[in-house]
Structure 1
Amino acid sequence: MSELTSQAIDLLKQLIETQSFSSEEDQTAQLIKTWLENHDVETKQTDYNVWAINKYFNESKPTILLNSHHDTVKPNKAYTRDPFKATVEGDKLYGLGSNDAGGCLVSLLATFVHFYDHKDLKYNLVIVASAEEESSGDKGLVSMKTVIPHIDVAIVGEPTQMNLAVSEKGLVVFDAIVKGTASHAAHPNENNAIYNCIKVLDWFKNYKFEKTSKSLGDVKMTVTQIKAGVQHNAVPAQVELVVDVRVNDAYSNEEIADLLQKESPCDSITPRGLKLNSSSIPMDHDIVKAGIAIGRGTYGSPTLSDQSVLTCPSVKLGPGLSQRSHTADEFIYVSEIEEGIEIYREILERIL
């Protein structure tokens, strides 16, 4: 495993130095495909998703998906380093995508290669290095569900400090409209859309969803954007709001949409999409029990990942720290990758 770990870290350095914004992952897909093939893995590619199954895949056995993504967000303007330069200083490996989610991806790739040609496993293994995670794109993991074999459970690689996120909030974004009467600012107007918006904003601020979750807590609803008016002397006819709703596992996205459409004081409120669902895994699942047995913690995650497009039980687990994601001068500790590969291996050895 020591040599495989070193090779995985070298791959991460190559990935960092290769631009891979969402929908532009062609070059990193080729790097990953070549790396797997150099380890004698029969590898396939669908769009920019690179995937493989274990050598002795048996359709009669249940299947575990190992998944992480190789796309990145664009670097923000606060970077003081070259985001496309993989630099190691002490234990820190700097570079765009190092923490989110390159460290997770190469750790899962190394783990898959380790088990690839093992015979008589209790589970099949499928690895998917997916595209378009950061943009929730249609050609990412969601498109692979009809391509890869049926999946019974998934490990999704995102930075969790190698603790098990046994549940994850879903996301629904709404576009809402508050109407009024357009008028000249110099004339009286008792139906000013901007003033009408005050009580609407207050409603969103104070609304409480009834059902809570043991691992995910309450549904979190936040007004994140507001738009109205084009000039100083004209009262607009309407105000447009964007509302971000993080959904716990006590509700479906459809239920949240129905509730807001019935109860919100907006003139209209429309979900942009309902596909990014909450996810969870039973606490008595073999993967969870294996993680707990080696001392890993469990928690509910407020952040979204490719778990949202899966319908099977799934756990989010990976090296790195979520709070470093999308930050300037992003980095991951090399020791976190080394530990991540070892923990992935220990967990899978206990159930395979």
Structure 2
Amino acid sequence: METLFLDAIALLKQLIAIPSFSKEEDKTGTVIEQFFIDKKIPAQRYLNNVWAINRYFDPLKPTVVLNSHHDTVKPNPKYTKDPFTPIEEDGKLFGLGSNDAGGCLVSLISTFVHFYDKENLSFNVVIAATAEEEITGKNGIEALLVHDKFSASLHNPDFKNNQNQWFAIVGEPTKMQLAIAEKGLMVLDAVANGKAGHAARNEGESALYKAMQDIAWFSTYKYPKVSQWLGEVKQTVTVIETENKAHNVIPATCNFVVDLRLPDCYTHEEVMDIIREHIQSDFKERSIRLRSSRIEVEHPLVKAGIALGNKPYGSPTCSDKALMPFPALKCGPGDSARSHTADEFIFVDEIKGGIETYIKMLEIMGENL
């Protein structure tokens, strides 16, 4: 365990020292590849995604994917430390991506190393260090799971149609609590239409006032269904603008943007149907990829986490969990409140505890499969 922990800290320090903004993760991908080479573990790469499978992988057994990302956001402008210099101080490891989600990633990699060459496991283990999570990009976990090279590595060319025994741990900072459900995301671009006119005369039809009426509806409407784990639909208007900037012109159009967080009791399509019934503005969705997701409380992986004293909850934020076609549990060391903050850090003991908890969780799960 001590070796796993020290290797994890050393790897995280290497990753922190290399800028790896979304779509620019090639160098950290190479570091992760080299880590596996040094461990004599065969690893493969597609784009900036690196993965490996356990030595005794059996396509007939259930498979758990250990997944986290190695891309980061750009550093907060209020950093007082160099975001690319890993600094260990007072039990904390500082650096960009240390908490989100480097600590999770290296903990999961160490967990994979622990199980890699164990015979007679009741399950398979796949490690996937992926890209573009911070921008929900299409060249991260989503691209990897459908790529022929990935299917071939699993000795399962029909993997795309045979995922009923697959599930995942998605490493994000949750203090090792169990995010079994996650809200989906939908962004709407809306436009209210009026008629231009001169503000000094009684003419025109203000698109801005029409938009205000619809925005008032978004701010007050309560959807009837409420999710046990994820609560209510949350809809927030975040942007509003008109094309003209003259003070004396009644605007003919007014554009606004709505951010919607959807629980598992509504589909994106159901919510859009309700919105159409209530507003006069036209709108279109930017994307419907990020659906709400849930892994059942009775799943052996979740039950194992609960047996260790961790609690299930519903998460309001999205992760790569939303892009997986099989059940996934979001769980990892660190605190989401530190993500994207200046002088980001993770406690080194959180990483050690994360490795220990992941291993125990999978061992308990394996006994109950």
What TM-score comes out, normalization by structure 2 length? 0.93
Query: What code does the residue aligned with 1:108 have?
Result: L
Deviation at 1:231, TM superposition (A): 2.6
Contact 1:219–1:246 (8 Å) recurs in 2: yes
Deviation at 1:114, TM superposition (A): 0.6
Instruction: Give the Cα–Cα distance (whole angstroms) in 2 for the partners of residues 335 and 111 of structure 1.
Output: 15
Partner of 2:205: 191
Q: Secondary structure at the match of 1:338?
A: helix
Counterpart amino acid of residue 22 in structure 1 = S
* SS of equivalent to 1:75: coil
- Which amino acid letter does the alignment assign opposite residue 146 of structure 1? V
Contact 1:177–1:266 (8 Å) recurs in 2: no
Contact 1:180 1:238 in 2 (8 A): yes
Q: Partner letter of residue 36 of structure 2?
A: L
2:331 aligned with 1:317, yes or no? yes
Task: Percent identity, please.
Answer: 50
Which of 311, 314, 319 is 1:300 aligned to?
A: 314
Q: Cα gap change, 1:102/1:266 in structure 2, threshold over 3 Å: closer, same or farther?
A: farther
Comparing 222-231 with 45-54, greater Cα deviation is found at: 222-231
Give a deviation string over 1:258-307, Cα, whole Å, max 9, x none: 332x2241321111011101111111111111111111111100011001
Match of 1:238 in 2: 253
Task: Indicate the residue corresponding to 1:255 in structure 2.
Answer: 270
* Inter-partner Cα distance in structure 2 for 1:190 and 1:94: 57
Q: Does structure 1 residue 17 correspond to structure 2 residue 17?
A: yes
Q: Deviations over 1:202-232 (max 9, x none)?
A: 1000111121111111111111111113232
Q: Which one-letter code corresponds to 2:292 in the other structure? A: S
Q: CA RMSD in A?
A: 1.2
Q: Does 1:31 align with 2:31?
A: yes
- Partner Cα distance (2:203, 2:80) in 1: 51
Tell me the secondary structure at the aligned position of residue 224 of structure 2. coil
Structure 2 counterpart of 1:237, one-letter code? A
SS at match of 2:108: helix
1:164 pairs, out of 154, 158, 178, with 178
1:265-344 alignment, distance < 5 Å: 265-344=279-358
Note if contact 1:176-1:266 (Cα within 8 Å) is conserved in structure 2.
no
Q: TM-score, normalised by structure 1?
A: 0.97
Alignment of 1:168-247 (within 5 A): 168-189=182-203, 191-228=205-242, 229-247=244-262
**SS of residue matched to 1:85:** coil
Aligned residues: 351
Deviations 1:126-185 (A, max 9, x none): 111010001111101111111334451110000000011010101011101111111233
Structure 2 unaligned residues grouped into runs of 5+ = 152-158
The 4+ residue runs of structure 1 with deviation greater than 4 A are: none
Cross-structure match for 1:48: 48
Distance 2:227 2:37 in 1: 43
- Matched position secondary structure for 1:134: helix
> After superposition, what is the alpha-carbon deviation per residue over 1:95-127, rounded to whole angstroms, capped at 9, x for unaligned?
111111000000000000110011111111111
Using the alignment, how far apart are the partners of 2:172 and 2:246 within structure 1? Answer: 45
Q: 2:80 & 2:45 partners in 1: Cα distance?
A: 35
Distance 1:185 1:208 in 2: 35
- Shift of residue 190, structure 1, vs aligned partner: 5.4
Give the letter for the 1:209 counterpart: Y
Other structure's SS at 2:192 match: strand
Whether the 8 Å contact between 2:168 and 2:326 is mirrored in structure 1 is: yes
